[in-house]
Amino acid sequence: MDYFQNFKDRLATKEQEQNKRSIKFYEPIDAVRVKCENREFIMMASNNYLGLTHDIRVQQAAIQAVQHYGSGSGGARLTSGSFPLFNELETAISDFKHTEQALIFNTGYMANVGTITALMNKHSVIISDELNHASIIDGCRLSGAQIERYKHKDVEHAEYILKNYKSAHKMIITDGVFSMDGDIAPLDRLYELSKDYNALLMVDDAHATGVIGNGRGTAHHFGLTDVDVQLGTLSKALGSVGGYVAGRKELIEYLINYSRSFIFSTALSPADIGAALEALRIIHDDSSVVDTLRKNTVYMAHKLQAMGIDCDDETPIFPIVVGENDRALTLARELKERGIIITAIRPPTVPVGESRLRMTVTAAHSKEQVDYVAKTLHELLVDMNIH
Ligand SMILES: Cc1ncc(COP(=O)(O)O)c(C=O)c1O
């Protein structure tokens, strides 16, 4: 077998399907403007929801952490890599989330894979929303558990499945805010279900932390205090990189001992932890940046709605579903011509036939930027006969 010819053939198939990915390089100017090919663009595709990557306090905290602790951690958390800032950040996360303890992972992806594989095994059943993030799906697959997908946000369907597994070892898993659709999971009703059927409940707050529930995430949004596994990332609203799990102390101690992605990887660097800790302090001490995000979200939603574009104002993620890959790519290209970056999202990230532009608004966007983006988007959608 000619392996490399095989790689080429498979890439050619992706190209034909207009589904080939390539890396684009953007040079940030600030939290919402980037430079690329000697031009300036408004970034409308990032998860930097609070603009904290460019907050001087967060940047200074990263620099100070490097000066104090060095550039790298030099070891895994259970060997030599746990410097004291980890303890501070884990305590800050559990305080913020009102849980007993928290544990940092290297990414949200690793938190999902490491947590699900530690908690579930081949004797377990996982009840998972059909639109859950790829890292949840990968964790489920790797755990060897039986995977039962319920229709998106359909609690009755989840219950229908649970009835068949009354005595099993099981967990319900959902994104808190769905990454590609921006809608909020019915966590209150899933919570009831988890109690009725004695299942663990896990929520992935990657896009909810810093965004809903006063920034505290989906459980807080619904006034819930004891969701079993509250997972999230430091990489989006918190302007750094990393993942976390918050919950009861037995859960955290269990993960420290059984989660392979936690145990077998070098700990994050001081810069990552210092930045995340400061970002969390900012949100915790003063919710004004979270309030600004909310205001900008509502402003964008109302602008789009006034132009006849169907959308919600629940979260800062605005999916503009156009159907086929070529339409999504054309729309993204035309927007770029006009100085706006919004990435075209295609399968397998979203279902076939539901390719889209995933637009995000942040606390750092100005009213003028939002006005310009909404107006330009509307003109293009009319020109392309979409919506
Ligand atoms: C819902 C969800 N969970 C987990 C992740 C992974 O987080 P990270 O980027 O920190 O690996 C993402 C984002 O990519 C996500 O959207």
Class of the CATH domain delimited by 20-49+316-383: alpha beta
* Residue 378 is among the residues annotated as catalytic for this protein: no
User: Where along the chain do the CATH 3.90.1150.10 domains lie?
Assistant: 20-49+316-383
In terms of Cβ atoms closer than 10 Å to its own Cβ (0-12, 13-18, 19+), residue 181 is buried
pLDDT in tens, 295-352: 999 999 999 999 888 899 999 999 999 999 999 999 999 999 999 999 999 998 999 9
Residue 64, pLDDT score: 98
Ligand 1 site, residue 272, Cβ cutoff 6 A:
no
Residue 179, pLDDT score: 96
Q: Which of 135, 179, 240, 355 is catalytic?
A: 179
Ligand 1 site, residue 233, Cβ cutoff 6 A:
yes
User: Where along the chain do the CATH 3.40.640.10 domains lie?
Assistant: 56-285
170 pLDDT above the threshold of 90: yes
pLDDT in tens, 89-121: 999 999 999 999 999 999 999 999 999 999 999
Give the pLDDT mean for 29-55: 97
Query: How far, in Å, from the CA of 166 to the mean position of ligand 1?
Result: 31
246 vs 252: CA distance, rounded Å: 7
185 vs 170: CA distance, rounded Å: 19
Q: Which of 153, 170, 236, 365 is catalytic?
A: 236
Whether the CB-CB separation of 326 and 17 falls below 8 Å is answered with: no
Q: For the chain, what percent of residues have pLDDT higher than 90?
A: 94
Residue 16, pLDDT score: 93
Atom of ligand 1 nearest to the CA of 243: 10
Ligand 1 site, residue 115, Cβ cutoff 6 A:
no
Whether the CB-CB separation of 95 and 109 falls below 8 Å is answered with: no
* Residue 207 is among the residues annotated as catalytic for this protein: yes
Residue 387, pLDDT score: 65
250 pLDDT above the threshold of 70: yes
Cβ partners under 8 Å of residue 113, min gap 6: 135, 138, 139, 142, 261
Residue nearest to atom 10 of ligand 1 (CA): 108
The token pair at 137 is 């799906």
pLDDT in tens, 343-384: 999 998 999 999 999 999 999 999 999 999 999 999 999 988
14 vs 22: CA distance, rounded Å: 11
Residue 249, pLDDT score: 98
The token pair at 355 is 């390719």
Atom of ligand 1 nearest to the CA of 235: 10
At residue 167 the predicted structure's pLDDT band, cuts being 50, 70 and 90, is confident
Query: How far, in Å, from the CA of 47 to the mean position of ligand 1?
Result: 10
Ligand 1 site, residue 48, Cβ cutoff 6 A:
no
Span 56-285: which CATH code?
Answer: 3.40.640.10
Angle (CA) 78-81-87 rounded to 5° is 85
